[in-house]
Structure 1
């Protein structure tokens, strides 16, 4: 959510689940959260950027619309369910240590090269709608799933320091496992911030196992 010129706005991301994976389309929706008594006209411009900087950004696309009271969403109403809580025939189920999550494989494949290979590269039955995730805690998978859908991990900011460090460690392992470079860097930064006498040795070992050179250097610097 952001505030522009005194009005509250929200940009919602969604994947058009009725299309095939090869279509490579996404949807961005600009939603006004204000009362819109006098009517508001707004424009949103966006483009796709490859985080690896190996592909040129797409041309910017701009859309303009008028928001009036009758079509303005009120906070708390008609919002999308959180990732993993929605139903639907095209959603796959993921079993993680006794808990079950639902997600669209196209969204996961678009963000993770490992999921892409699993779902579309012949590593598993393409018709399978049930996937078992081994050696991962449900809380870690839930946070990773939210990151894949929203590009954020709010859980890292809303828990106690001990719980945050534990989650960041689990997420770092998951990020390395599924090729999520941005999430891995986010976890490295959070763990580096939490280095102290009780965490330095464990974090150093984790950094060495998963090739986190900057985090390793921070740990060595603290220990030295």
Structure 2
């Protein structure tokens, strides 16, 4: 059966801009906002760089975020557009989609959209800062009026068929759900979960060692997973197969999502899933509050998350009275007494 041709229902204009920020360390002292003008979709735009997020209000728990803003400078009545930013690897010069942020809006003259790209302290410690220089790729996409001649568009679609979007993650997700060809079973909290050795080993160095190395799990058809909930293990497997974590998106909300992020961070550290670990840290940082910060601080200490730990320390010191009254603080006292010593040291330094 021949695949049906794909006909464009919408059209869009796109402009990709790359900005090299030289002398990045000194930009936090700058009073002005560096900007560049561009034209996209028949409209004039300005992209501004806010080095510490203070001008755009993106300061979280005392930690400023590097922010970019797209502003429509020409007259328009509800121009539908999106704005995205991501960091560029200074070695390969390839944009890193894992750092990307995307937002959309209906724009009018002088209206704008902010992208809080990354906490400044995280960026300063990252591989993206080289020779005190950072490269950022910004993309403005403007939705255009729909094609006037649908017949012509259809004919063009048949004449020039387009390559379908990548759907490997969907196919692997279907493989996980169906269990077709599964060759290993995990027992997690009394529940059976099937998977495929090769997929697990390709994504996790720990699974590689366990299932194809000299460990006892290599010869086992059934492996028991201790100290993990079945729901968390399944979420981790979904990430391994699809590189997505719907549980931390729209699938879960509030405290439930925060708890899942904490459990998944432990699982990610246990199985060497660095990207999942970073996703969990970002989720935890955005939902941190007085009730969760002490538990999160203990988690960061136990799993070597130095940036998360630093952010928790700042938040705790700023809200010490309220935090010390929580159950999580009692857990912190019992599990990580050395962290309390560090907190006390920081307090004393603050009073000098």
* TM-score bracket for this pair, using the shorter chain length: 0.5 to 0.7
Say whether residues 1:119 and 2:239 are aligned partners: no
Tell me the SS of whatever aligns to 2:216. Answer: coil
Say whether residues 1:43 and 2:43 are aligned partners: no
CA RMSD, Structure 1 to Structure 2 (Å): 2.8
Q: In structure 2, what is the equivalent of residue 177 of structure 1?
A: 270
Q: In structure 1, what is the equivalent of residue 239 of structure 2?
A: 147
2:7 and 2:308 map into 1 onto residues whose CA distance is 37
Could you report, residue by residue, the CA deviation over 1:67-102 in whole angstroms, capped at 9, with x for unpaired residues?
xxxxxxxxxxxx776464323344311110011111
Tell me the SS of whatever aligns to 2:192. Answer: strand
Q: In structure 1, what is the equivalent of residue 194 of structure 2?
A: 102
Q: In structure 2, what is the equivalent of residue 130 of structure 1?
A: 222
Could you report, residue by residue, the CA deviation over 1:79-127 in whole angstroms, capped at 9, with x for unpaired residues?
7764643233443111100111111010000000000000111102534
Q: Which runs of 5+ in 2 are unaligned?
A: 1-5, 11-153, 318-352
Structure number with higher strand proportion: 2
Tell me the SS of whatever aligns to 2:218. Answer: coil
Q: In structure 2, what is the equivalent of residue 15 of structure 1?
A: none
In the superposition, the TM-score normalised over structure 2's length comes to: 0.42
Q: In structure 2, what is the equivalent of residue 85 of structure 1?
A: 177
- Within a 5 Å distance, the mapping from 1:3-14 to structure 2 comes to 5-6=8-9
Tell me the SS of whatever aligns to 2:296. Answer: helix
Q: Structure 2 vs 1, CA of residues 149 and 81 (structure 1 numbering), >3 Å: closer, same or farther?
A: closer
In the superposition, the TM-score normalised over structure 1's length comes to: 0.65
Instruction: Return structure 1 stretches of 4+ with deviation > 6 angstroms.
Output: none
Is 2:187–2:222's contact at 8 Å kept on the other side of the alignment?
A: yes
1:45 and 1:143 map into 2 onto residues whose CA distance is 24
State the number of aligned residues: 163
Q: In structure 1, what is the equivalent of residue 91 of structure 2?
A: none
Q: Structure 2 vs 1, CA of residues 82 and 166 (structure 1 numbering), >3 Å: closer, same or farther?
A: farther
